[in-house]
Amino acid sequence: QVQLVESGGGSVQAGGSLRLSCAASGYTYSRNCMAWFRQAPGKEREGVAAAWPGGGGTYYSDSVKGRFTISRDTAKNTVYLQMNSLKPEDTGMYYCAADSVSVWVCPTPLTVAQFNYWGQGTQVTISS
């Protein structure tokens, strides 16, 4: 059974930091794209960061570039999202996603349809 389990969400003030983790089980994503999406109330889910397999590169949406850092530990089958200089507009449910179909590629911009496995989400709330 394939599972993605996120952790690390919480409530912080603007300017603070959080680190999200996503542990995968049931499938090894060493050759696959892994990403983070977020969804604010009443808004569509948007892709904010992705990490190519094998250290091939990273992608960030313009809204988080320079503040968020995605990384992955292949040995632990885990992906992380370090979020710094958080803003109230970063508030939302953050989801980990994995693409088990494509190998060695992370098509961008990120789309929901591209990813076939999702975690349950972790809430991030930033107060001003």
If pLDDT is split at 50, 70 and 90, which confidence band does 38 have? very high
Count the alpha carbons within 13 Å of 78 in the hemisphere toward its beta carbon.
Answer: 14
What average pLDDT score do residues 3-18 get? 97
Does 30 score more than 90 pLDDT?
no
Mean pLDDT for 19-32 is 92
Predicted pLDDT of residue 19: 98
pLDDT score recorded for residue 12: 98
* b/e sequence 36-63, b meaning 16+ C-beta within 10 Å: bbbeeeeeebbbbbbbbbeeeebbbbee
Query: Residue 112: which pLDDT band, with cuts at 50, 70 and 90?
Result: very high
The rounded mean pLDDT for the chain is: 94
* pLDDT, average across residues 27-45: 93
Task: Identify the pLDDT of residue 85.
Answer: 98
CB 3 within 8 A of CB 24: yes
pLDDT at 46 over 90: yes
- 57-107 pLDDT, tens digit per residue, is 999 999 999 999 999 998 899 999 999 999 999 999 999 999 988 888 898
**Section 4-26 average pLDDT:** 96
